[in-house]
Chain A
């Protein structure tokens, strides 16, 4: 008998995202106990004993690599759900992609963590690799599903960015991102295939001052940087669809996004070939950051305009505009975090690059390493908060709860991220002998910020979990909205049009 609850959880966009966010939160919460302040408080020992983990000191780097993959694959899956849920594509593609990537990321998470933390059964490792392969295959299907050169997916509304022939440039941007991610995943996979046969596990931050790096090491360094970048690009594109990004700004932003993605990806791949790859990456980054900035301008103008319209104000004062902008923290927050990222990541990165030899290479390696790991975690954290804010909207948060949730996530995550930035740059202001007060202050702010964001997210997830066990909860409405409450129809022929009543419509630009 067909279970509607399982259908919701494993087939609907909202159910799949709920499941993935729940699993990522679970893993982040428990594995966060193994290091940092939770370890200082002694939680790690309790956790290790309670779970029977086997933590061999020499295997720390390998464990971290697999933990990253366990979380990152789930994040990629969430992005794929966002894309399949918001970009037009055939239903059977949507079902296949979502199904395969779900099995894939859960396999990666379960068997990767079993291999890394609970003994080294290479059966687990094999199944972990199988999971990675499934995620990759789902990505191939996604690229096929997003193929933008079919006439049926050409733009119907000339307000969206398109070519003269009607090619939907936003769809091209999604497609390019997906293909770039597949190629970039290959860079990791090829190196991984040499594991134990010429390649030795390492963390990139440990190699920063090595004058000579092997091609396999460079390949991994390129891989990890471009994967996070592409996840960021993917999230920005999804947020663009959420805002129904269109008009003149859309027409400027999408080419920037497409060419920026291509150039950054080529730059990251060419890290293996040339030390000048950074210049290519810089060029691509400028284009992508410009596209992001244009999206933010569009989103904020739209928030202000619609906010004023809701209040019946024709021409508002500055204060009215600010109130309109801030009235929905989920929508405002998703774009504010993109702006905030520049203060914590982009500008810091540029400053470090410009002053590298003058300042940061005077510091000991371990202090420079703190900048890199802090920088990396802050960027990943900011992307995660944007995804959380978007999910909260999908989950149906409304009214006061929406405001409290949104502002809590924005304020406390930003406190944590800013504190992390001060922590990583502390040697600019204080010497090692005098650093402890600043370490104490920043660490407590990081901990409070992250803890409150995680608690807030947990409350949202518990709310949705409680709803999930109600007979006619929101989940059943959401299932019906996606048309999944009835048995699926037989698959249409491959040649069936996506928009049966609309195939002949051409773009009038």
Chain B
């Protein structure tokens, strides 16, 4: 009884103190609960069922997960491809976004440079696939094959989108091309907010080159933006799907471009096994979440 009363008091006091703040959050909170949290929880529930969208979901416990890890060899390939992709493009796109933002920030004609680097990320994968299929075409009609053959680097055209060895690298290159997106803009905006005085003070304290300045002044001040960029880089690189399917197809030759989300899409929207697809989503979620937590700790989130 006593505990309940202190509890009530605590709630009443918090409400009194922060009433305006809770009201600020209310619209987001309601919509978020209905259209984001509820669907996610439903998907988690479905991962323990057999659900083909026609009959009602049937509870089957952990069967989907057992199948996924023990019997589904294609899923293991998908994990391997996704990890390779994430290890390569995640850090690279992150570092590239920051480095380029930093250089552009020092340059004249910043708007022009920003436009050139940002524009690719706006394009839709569907619209751009026309371009990629021409650049990386498997025969001598392809621009890259034509170029390489012309300068004598290769004699026979390379089947970029058919060879197991080249499919994943091509997907990585295209994704990197498109990766100077929101994080890049966020870094540019963040760089503006580093107070000038800090640089002046740093110069007095003996900082005399750009590297030291970035390390001791820019990076610490930009921590909120860097954290955002890091989490987005992880989420995006683990969710690789659109580009892979557009250039390599679904399924890709020997599953060389098969990713976790491609596998999910295959089961959810081609075979209509939503339960199994949901289990894949849960596994992907856990992997992304653990990694993001780890990165957040490294970047020293103060909460």
Does B associate with A?
no
A interface residues, Cβ below 8 angstroms from B: none
B interface residues, Cβ below 8 angstroms from A: none
